[in-house]
Amino acid sequence: MIRLAPQATLSLLTAVIAVTTLSVSVSACKILPGTVRSGTETKKVDAMLQAESLSFVRNADQTSGNLSFSLKDQHQCRIEYWSQDPTGTPPPASPLSIDCPKDKLQLTQAIAISGLTPGYPLSFRIFVWPKTTTFLSHYVKDFSEGQDLQAKTAQDLVVVRYLAPRQSAEIYSFRFPGTISVSEIKSKLNANTQSCVERPVPEALPFPRSSSLEDNQKRPLLGLSQVKTEGFGSGEALQHPFFNTRLIETYEQTARQENWKWNFAWENKPFSFDAFPPGYIGELTVGDGQTSRSIATRSLSGNLETVELTANRLQLSPRIIFPTDVARFDLTIKSADASETLLTCQFAIDKDSFSVPEEFLRKLGQGSYLATFTFETHQVHVNQQGSYPPWVISAQDVISFRLNKRL
């Protein structure tokens, strides 16, 4: 059975997720709301619903709770909700919905939610539309249940780094000098300057293997062994040909709309869990304000498509599939031979399009440059019983192109 995930990280416990707003694009196949970002309607929905009033409080048994929020006028609304973990209730592939009471169109809404799995946080989608129109005129607000991740700590991690153009994943264990909360782990993943930097100093990805401590027995992979995957990428992890502290999986093909099941042993005991498919760039449009073109090349080198830059403006409009709550865009511009990094920019994923500030583009002389656009997503999986360390599954989808500046 194919499962398609809404916008959420996989985890039995996840961090408090910022409220985001987006309009929904749904294709003919079974893609759930939130899997494709194609626009934003923040101002319109915020004029109808008080975002700061959103709250979900679970009852003592954790199997039910109450969602509450306030409308700014007598609008109609509908609630859709699902578990952030594929094994929770209701599952992401089969969200449940509840219509707000239509009698008297109360401004303050209080909706009882039942039949939940304890410890598995929920994601909510709130549809709001004026009482004089139909559901087709709705706007959307996303909201996710928070969890106290400060109470969950770990000293070890399992880190997965998937690179889409190579269809391969590196897997390794990571040990901190002391314990760290899951909330801190997520904060390190979520570090985002949302700015541009000239000639940047190279930064390591979070939790690089080179900075990990070894355990007392000098086991390079700590307790991790027998790693196999199914679904999105199927394979068996082998020792990396160059690093005995890492495993590697390569895939002849990937099933982009299937969950990613991880089977492994920790301290010789078997475990498994499902992750969502990695984020993916469905389409990238690049232009200079006068002309634009769609770029699809996923090769990291070789014959790349060229974008003509005839003004000091570079605008990028991505359409992304399977975003997670910890995600970002990176744009890197290098010299034509890739020997020198001239500019890097980071952008949040909550907008349809964004531009490189003009002052940075003016400093690039005429000529050819290599540009790389990266969509980076992170999922955090935490075992409820603490039987094995948290997993951080990071993925990068990359589109490269050449910039030809002619002004």
Give residue-wise pLDDT tens across range 79-138: 999 987 777 789 888 899 999 887 766 788 889 999 888 767 888 999 998 888 888 888
How far apart are alpha carbons 121 and 83 in whole angstroms?
6
Spans of the chain, pLDDT less than 50: 1-40
Model pLDDT, residue 151:
65
> Which of 185-216 are b and which e, b meaning 16 or more Cβ less than 10 Å from the residue's Cβ?
bbeebeebeeebeeeeeeeeebbebeebeeee
**What residues does each domain of the chain span?**
23-145
Does residue 192 sit in helix, strand or coil?
A: coil
Model pLDDT, residue 156:
93
Model pLDDT, residue 23:
29
Model pLDDT, residue 33:
33
Model pLDDT, residue 102:
77
State which fold the 23-145 domain adopts: Immunoglobulin-like (2.60.40)
How far apart are alpha carbons 285 and 295 in whole angstroms?
6
Model pLDDT, residue 153:
85
Virtual torsion, Cα 66, 71, 74, 77, nearest 10 deg: -50
Q: Kindly report, residue by residue over 35-52, the tens digit of the pLDDT.
A: 323 233 555 778 888 887
